[in-house]
Amino acid sequence: MVIEGLPSGTRVYAASVRRHSGATLALVRRDDGEKLLYVSGESPFLPDGQPLGNGYCHPLTAETASALKHLFPWLSPQRIPADRPSFGFGDRLGTATAGHIRSLAGTNIFPILAQQSVRENARTERRFADVLTCAIFGAFQEGYESGFGADADHLKRVEDALVAAHLGYSFFTCDPSEHVVDTDGLSDQEIRGRFSQLPRADVWRREYLEQPPSIAGLEGLRFTEDALARAAVKYGEAVVFASRMYNALAEHLSDGFDFEVSVDETEEPTTPLEHLFVSQELKQRGVDFVSLAPRFAGAMEKGVDWRGDLERFRSDLRVHASIARVTGPYRLSLHSGSDKFTLYPLMAEEVGRLWHVKTAGTSYLVALETVAEKAPVLFRKIVKFSISRFAHERASYHISADPGLIPPIEEIPDDKLGSVVEEHNGRQVLHVAFGSVLQSPLGDELRVVLDEWEEEHYERLARHLGRHLQGLGVKNIG
């Protein structure tokens, strides 16, 4: 695409070119790699820019993104349509949105293009505003007009949820894990004692034991006193916290929002009765949640496929899906959903279309695959540095990697370096060290390589995330 009057060497992203009120707008890239919003003509929403050719250029800041949303409403985050499955594309580098969008070709998936947690923001030195800004300009670059959401992920503080709400986020994932009681080490007697001291213990006995809810389709799920006590002690305070966050958001977002409750950050799987208890108690408190993330059975580790008893997973998933369908309907959310290729067909078969899958670290690993091929010297540095940071970084992740099993990086030929990203131990070591890498000078070098090999990076992302969507039964890959 050629726009007359631009300096020689300035590249125009053809899919981004748009007309509005007599002005032409496009995303352009200069010789030095800097991306800018180019405008020829006048736009009342955009501040004064710097002269460029026959028009003006604007930096890709949050302020420019906000102005652009006024011109093109499809760049504003939207709620998830009720009839479409949804998929979260985490982007820790802020460079992956174009590749994520390309993976959507031939699907009816509703994408969450801005998705990052407070913890991830701290490790990447970004803010919710930065994450959303990158998603907006990525969608504009690709000319993507089909709608996307923005998820403030794993929120543990109401204040953080309100920050994201102010910025225009549409999806809020409440993580009440700090309010979940670890009951696995408690005896039945200890749990009964704790239960009897809860303020709503008598109400719960009446509602779940004396006059249990009659839910068509869930007749086989019946609470015993011990099962009720365990569920209430474990999740009672978590439900209270989730309702507090929901009510705070509801006060600020009169047009509605998507709210997910995540109870997956536990050592033991969420039982069907625990799921039912959480669901019923959220509804009792008026929490209109669109999805719930249970802790599923098996090894749900970061960046690698699932391991465990597949038939047990299927059996549990079937019951969880029934609860979500009958008491909602709401979506079942699969967290740590990156590269769980074994589970995707089961999600499609047992859950139908009411699922949400979250990915994040897999896109960072795709970036490292690109670096392994195009900049082997840098990749070796990243591997060595990631190994040195592993003992520190692994503390907040459920992983099983052993860095000692990674072959000496200097002995691996350049054309085989990608195998480090593919193999279980290397993959997880690289995955958890993303924060340390991105905050170091290596992070700047990595971005330079991705910038130089931009199209290669996008196509790798489209292929890899496309495999995820293919496994979920929503995309055909020839």
219 is catalytic: no
Q: Say if strands 18-20 and 355-359 run parallel, antiparallel, or are unpaired.
A: unpaired
In a domain, 476, yes or no: no
Looking from the CA of 347 toward its CB, the CA atoms found within 13 Å total 29
Mean pLDDT of 293-319: 95
pLDDT of residue 175 exceeding 60, the answer is: yes
Q: Which of 260, 274, 369, 393 is catalytic?
A: 260
Q: List phi, psi (to 5°) of 20.
A: -155, 120
**Mean pLDDT, residues 158-182:** 97
- Note whether 348 and 313 are same-domain residues: yes
Q: What percent of the chain has pLDDT over 70?
A: 99
pLDDT confidence bin for 267, thresholds 50/70/90:
confident
The torsion angle over the Cα atoms of residues 344, 349, 350 and 356, rounded to 10 degrees, is 40
Other residues' Cβ atoms within 10 Å of the Cβ of residue 478: 3
Total domains, the chain? 3
Quick one: which of 238, 70, 91 has its CA closest to 150?
A: 91
243 or 46, higher pLDDT: 243
Task: Kindly state whether residues 62 and 112 are assigned to the same domain.
Answer: no
Cβ-Cβ contacts under 8 Å for 26 (sequence gap 6 or more): 1, 3, 12, 13, 16, 17, 18, 37, 38
- Identify whether residues 157 and 56 lie together within a single domain: no
| pLDDT of 478 higher than 60 | no
Domain final residue, candidates 296, 331, 359: 359
Select from 254, 282, 239, 247 the least CA-distant residue to 161: 247
Distance CA(115)–CA(123), nearest Å, equals 14
Q: How far apart are CA 377 and CA 364, in angstroms?
A: 18
Query: Across-strand partners of 19?
Result: 24
| Residue 477 belongs to a domain | no
144-168 average pLDDT score: 98
Same domain, 320 and 387: no
Q: Check which CATH number belongs to the domain holding 107 and give it.
A: 3.20.20.70
Q: Per-residue pLDDT tens for 191-227?
A: 999 999 999 999 999 999 998 877 878 888 999 999 9
Would you say residue 417 lies in a domain?
yes
Q: 430 and 313 share a domain?
A: no
With respect to residue 297, please indicate whether it lies within any of the assigned structural domains: yes
Beta-strand ranges (E) seen in 272-386 are 291-293, 331-334, 355-359
| Residues 295 and 443 grouped into a single domain | no
Q: Which two tokens stand for residue 440?
A: 């170091």
Q: Averaged over 266-292, what is the pLDDT?
A: 96
Phi, psi of 55 (to 5 degrees): -140, -145
Residue 432: its pLDDT value, please? 94
Q: Read off the pLDDT band of 36 (50, 70, 90).
A: very high
Tell me how crowded residue 127 is: count the other CB atoms within 10 A of its CB. 17
Q: What is the pLDDT of residues 309-361, one digit of tens each?
A: 999 999 999 999 999 999 999 999 999 999 999 999 999 999 999 999 999 99
Q: What is the pLDDT of residue 446?
A: 98
Residue 236 shares a structural domain with residue 253: yes
Residue-range definition of the domain harbouring residue 221: 79-359
Last residue of a domain, one of 21, 52, 71: 71
Tokens of 108: 């009816």
472 is a domain residue: no
44: pLDDT strictly greater than 70:
no
- Same structural domain, 41 and 120: no
Averaged over 415-432, what is the pLDDT?
97
- The chain-wide mean pLDDT, for the chain, equals 95
Contact 16, 142 (CB under 8 A): yes
Within this chain, do residues 404 and 430 fall inside the same structural domain, yes or no?
yes
Decide if 351 is inside a domain: yes
| Mean pLDDT score, 104-129 | 96
260 is a catalytic site residue: yes
**pLDDT surpasses 90 at 5:** no
Q: Please identify, among 340, 359, 378, the residue that sits at the C-terminal boundary of a domain.
A: 359
Mean pLDDT of the region 12-31: 94
303 and 236: one domain? yes
> Which of the residues 91, 142, 153, 160 is marked catalytic?
153
Residue 473 included in any domain:
no
Note the pLDDT of residue 265.
Answer: 85
- Tokens (6 digits) for 326: 């009958």
Shared-domain flag, residues 164 and 260: yes
Residue with tokens 């931009």: 454
Is 381 found in the same domain as 326? no
Q: Is residue 1 part of a domain?
A: no
pLDDT attached to residue 117: 96
Residue 327's pLDDT is 93
pLDDT bin (cut points 50, 70, 90) of residue 132 is very high
